[in-house]
Amino acid sequence: MANRTSSSVDADSGAQVRLCRGVWLPAEAAADTITRLAAVLAVLPQRTVLSGLTAAALHGMDVPTQTVATDVTVAAQHRPSALTSGPRRPELVAHRRLLSPDEIVEVAGLPVTSAARTWCDLAETMLLPDLVAAGDSAIRLGLVTPEQLAQAIRERRSRRGLRLALRAVPLLDGRSRSRPESRLRVLLVLAGLPLPAVNEPVLDDHGGWLAEPDLCYRQARLGIEYQGAGHAEPRRMRRDVARHMDLRRADWEILY
């Protein structure tokens, strides 16, 4: 998981590590994400759950790396006077908000906002490409369906992020295989191009499989590939070249 709380010493020193005010752990224990988060929750008010980027990372969603703060929400049973207030600690991004029972789940024994609620909360702070990437990964992992995300938006009590979430839902596609691939798809749409197909097979004239471009415009016979660092490995490069030649022979153009 990407979430890391601040510490006062190097985790390899064997000393005690300060996680937040009043919370210290041996360095070896503090290096474990679940142990670290459980220790932080132990000193927070009852009904505090992990939320935001921290919850998203625990669910396994593709989100930007979180460097310092832990996101938490105190689940209020009645509408509090200040919905955005929460425990005041510099190591935390804290909120106090209404949460229904079905918006709280357990992940690795820790209380966490549900995948649908987490995604809706991310809409408050994320840009559209990152929000779509997080939603794509949640669908790909089987955590939610697009319909469940749309329902969560309809039931959302807060207006913050609502417009962005509504804009993101039609762009979601669980066939996306990586965060950069999802972001690239959204950037194409934002540039005014049609929504491309995602990882659809390209066949030759005899029905034989040629490739599955990351993105494609089938009518234009145009494929678009995001090339991550793994494509620089020699064996992978040879496969990429062979696939490119097969597609060119089938009158497809590939952009990298």
- In DSSP notation, 77-134 reads SS--S-TT-----TTEEEEEEE--GGGEEEETTEEEE-HHHHHHHHTTT--HHHHHHH
214 pLDDT band (50/70/90 cuts)? very high
According to DSSP, the β-strands at 104-107 and 202-203 are: unpaired
For residue range 84-98, what is the model confidence (pLDDT) as tens digits? 455 667 788 899 999
For residue range 105-148, what is the model confidence (pLDDT) as tens digits? 999 999 999 999 999 999 999 999 999 999 999 999 999 999 99
Q: Name the residue ranges covered by the structural domains of the chain.
A: 46-175, 197-255
Q: What is the C-alpha to C-alpha distance for residues 72 and 97, in angstroms, rounded to an integer?
A: 10
- In DSSP notation, 128-151 reads HHHHHHHHHHHHHTTS--HHHHHH
Would the pLDDT of 249 be above 70?
yes
Contacts of residue 208, Cβ cutoff 8 Å, sequence gap at least 6: none
For residue range 30-80, what is the model confidence (pLDDT) as tens digits? 889 999 999 999 999 989 999 999 999 999 999 987 666 899 999 886 665
According to DSSP, the β-strands at 222-224 and 253-255 are: parallel
Would the pLDDT of 10 be above 70?
no
More confident residue, 67 or 201: 201
Task: Give the predicted TM-score (pTM) of the model.
Answer: 0.85
